[in-house]
Amino acid sequence: MKGKGIRFREVPFDPSIKGTPTPPVTGFPPFRGGPYATMYVSQPWTIRQYAGFSTAEESNAFYKKNLAAGQRGLSVAFDLATHRGYDSDHPRVRGDVGKAGVAMDSVEDMKILFDGIPLHKMSVSMTMNGAVIPILAFFIVCAEEQGVPSEQLTGTIQNDILKEFLVRNTYIYPPAASMRLVTDIFKYSSARLPRFNSISVSGYHMLEAGAPPPLELAFTLADGYEYLQYGIKAGLHIDEFAPRFSFFFGIGMDGLREIAKLRAARILWARLVKAAGSEAPRSQVLRTHCQTSGWSLTQQDPFNNIARTALEALAATWGGTQSLHTNSLDEAVSLPTAATSAIARETQLFLQKEAGLCHWPDPVGGSIHIESLTDEMVDESWKIIKEVLSLGGMTRAIQDGYPKKRIEEAAALKQARIDSGEEKIIGLNLYPPDQELEIPVLQIDHEEVLQIQLKKLETLKKNRSQSRVRQALQHLSKACRDEKENILERAIEAARNRATLGEISSAIEKVFGRYHAPAGGLSKIYAAHSMNNRYFKKACKLVLDFEKKFGRRPRILIAKMGQDGHDRGARIIASGFADLGFDVDMGPLFQTPAETARHAMENDVHFIGVSSLAGAHQALIPELIGLLKEKGRDDIAVIAGGIIPDTDARALFDKGVLAVFGPGTNLAKAAVELMKLSLRG
């Protein structure tokens, strides 16, 4: 099998897996029961809460409080402007600065972020993929200036760009160029960062995008196998860099299958690494971080989310995770507050200190049901992995659209099952509360954060040597053209001279270009599974009534504005509304309000449905409405959907939004409400 310029090893099927269960032993290949012999008996999992918001100063204070309260590792969330390689002063990111993570424009921000936190003692995980080169460069220079050599740094950089092309979409450069950045990080890490994980292969975002456990597992391991092949192609021996691989899985509410998923992951990864040429057992160990599902949380009865998170955390630990993030009860509504973050963190402390989970290496090992589920998971996922390899590997499969199509179909099917009541969710379509509870939410003063970052950038550029920055950026662009040079090494030079994240990203973009994903088609899954949805037929009738009244079917533009790439909700809405009879335009990702308004007017739509998950709606939707009014098209109704707190919803109504639909909304019911509002008007 051949990928683009890469020959893939044929991975043999091991019949001993099927029908002959591997002994559930911890610490020995294929590590079914856990990667270490004693597991939590000698070392509990690391409580690693993913956090970051506003400015580096605010996040630093938050980290210090969490560390004092029992957290043992830092997991940094960056804002979307940073993820997409833009400085805070770029016009495309005005609504995103500091909203869903911490703004990070230069090494000076990184130094503030870790001020008073000794990096030679603290394990730091950074979720970064698109702008991975400048972020890792800033971190290394920050440590240097703390007096910590890179050889002493411990932690993980996510560096998993394939997942971005699959589901999360915070990419910058085209796939082939992005893989060059990944392998340059492998090379640098092998030589200079011996204790630092050079990649965290992520399935979490696949779970959140709708992938069921076997699909999440298969695509995650296929991504990992692809990275192995690229590392080998780059001249590294597999046993030099494979031990620094780590993984990141999401944990949903199907607890027993989630336990089996983690056990199966270790079996399959050991098989794949061995097939790729590894001779060292330590290379075959799958070590993983886990995070409880954000998608499983409900807005309608948020205090139930504490129980959901606890159950998912239990599954992660019984599955053998090495570190864990537990989501807060309010994350279906907004960023977590300090109070809800404390509840989430203490959930893990209860499991470690009071529930006795650290007394046994593998408490579920040997259970007939768990072992049977593990074998089933191995078989199901292995079939999917072989399909990916038959296409030429994951990069080729992504280019062909195969994994994205499988995930989107699964997401649409799940939404249809929930909307029809076939799948029950307490508080949503089973035992709904008499009234929705309004809980306090974290509010970020976006304008204040933006002004702080703009001032920092102005001061930085005033005090640095412009000629040195220019020269360092030229060296960086040259390294991108020459595969004998290491791009990360040149970015570190630029960071030392105080080049900004946007400048480093632009120097790389000059050579590689910026990637724009092709528009994908819409599935017909929702209609096929909505016969039991009492709102479905009603919505279809109202669409026909609309057509009779206005002479054409209702036309809607589904828009993603700002730098949020999570498009599960947007694509499900687009597919579902198309099945209900709407004419649907699916707008490209990362649009500005001006681009969205122009798209809507050119296509003469009746509605714009704006999907928002990251808080930028507060700035971007009012701007969109204002632009439509300026152009005399305030007849185009704007609808908002996604994670929008009640306080934000009220403000949006005041600005002229027609309707706001939060998480868990029945899609067909939303269409009914929308048609009634339109026909009434």
Catalytic residue among 14, 50, 515, 676: 50
Contact 314, 351 (CB under 8 A): yes
Catalytic residue among 63, 171, 204, 535: 204
Contact 611, 617 (CB under 8 A): no
The helix (H) or strand (E) run that includes residue 671 is: helix 667-680
Active site residue 239: no
Catalytic residue among 362, 564, 567, 648: 564
First to last CA, the chain: 59
Surface-to-core class of residue 29, CB atoms within 10 Å of its CB (0-12 exposed, 13-18 middle, 19+ buried): middle
Catalytic residue among 261, 325, 456, 560: 560
Positive or negative: CA dihedral 24, 29, 34, 36: positive
Measure Cα distances from 297 to 118, 328, 329 in Å. Answer: 35, 9, 7
Active site residue 566: yes
Q: Which two tokens stand for residue 441?
A: 């939410």
Q: CA dihedral in degrees (619, 624, 627, 629; nearest 10)?
A: -110
Active site residue 526: no
Which of 261, 524, 225 has the alpha carbon at shortest distance from 389?
225
Catalytic residue among 205, 261, 289, 617: 205
C-alpha 514/C-alpha 627 separation (Å) is: 27
Contact 137, 498 (CB under 8 A): no
Catalytic residue among 404, 566, 606, 617: 566
Identity of residue 361: P
C-alpha 99/C-alpha 417 separation (Å) is: 33
Active site residue 205: yes
C-alpha 529/C-alpha 533 separation (Å) is: 9
Which of 161, 164, 201 has the alpha carbon at shortest distance from 177?
161
Identity of residue 272: L
Measure Cα distances from 421 to 308, 562, 571, 577, 676 in Å. Answer: 19, 33, 21, 19, 23
Q: Which two tokens stand for residue 165?
A: 């092309």
Active site residue 515: no
Helix, strand, coil % (nearest 5) of the chain?
Answer: 50, 10, 40
For 69, left (φ over 0), alpha (ψ -120 to 50), or beta?
alpha
Active site residue 617: no
DSSP state of 196: E
Instruction: Using DSSP bridges, classify how beta strands 555-559 and 607-612 pair: parallel, antiparallel or unpaired.
Output: parallel
Show which residues are catalytic: 50, 204-205, 560, 564, 566
